[in-house]
Amino acid sequence: MVEDRRPYAGDIDVADLWAQLQAGTGAVLVDVRTRAEWAFVGVPDLGSVGPAPVLAEWQRYPAMDRAPEFVAEVGAELDRRGAAPGSGTPVYFLCRSGARSAAAAAAMTAAGYGPCFNVTDGFEGPVGPDGHRGTVGGWKAAGLPWKQS
């Protein structure tokens, strides 16, 4: 048996995440993509299952440098939503395809929140055979609700 050494609680696919949100567990979704991605690609629409996702940039566009205030900002919002450290509230992190969200889940786990999970394939998933994202994996490809501004 291989020991799991991820610095967060684990990975979850979008279908299992959606089931957790529908179950009313009090879980919080944090979308760590950039403002440009939220505006031009869209955001998860959680209106039918609970509060809107927390929108917090892990990296700032266009420089794509790590946002130094991320842990403090997300922590304050999680505290406001009753997901303070020690509460046991599951926190799910979503990005475009699952890389930034893994780093964010690790950072928030280190800050005492969670259990924190990385959403594999993210909002758009990997690039498909047609050269586009959003068709073979992730939130959009699963047909989960989303909206665009």
Task: Judge whether residue 22 has pLDDT over 70.
Answer: yes
Query: 10-47+65-93+104-143 is classed in which CATH architecture?
Result: 3-Layer(aba) Sandwich (3.40)
Across the range 15-24, mean pLDDT stands at 95
**Which pLDDT does position 69 carry in this prediction?**
96
Closest CA to 71 of 93, 88, 53: 93
Model pLDDT, residue 81: 96
Q: How far apart are CA 113 and CA 8, in angstroms?
A: 10
pLDDT digits 0-9 by tens, 111-135: 999 999 999 999 999 998 999 888 8
Confidence of residue 1 (pLDDT cuts 50, 70, 90): very low
Q: What is the mean predicted confidence (pLDDT) over 27-36?
A: 97
Distance from C-alpha of 106 to C-alpha of 115, rounded to nearest angstrom: 10
pLDDT > 70? residue 100: yes
Polymer length of the chain: 149
The full set of domain ranges for the chain reads 10-47+65-93+104-143
Residues 63-78: pLDDT tens digits? 889 999 999 999 999 9
**28 bridge partner residues:** 91
pLDDT at 35 over 90: yes
Q: What percent of the chain has pLDDT over 70?
A: 97
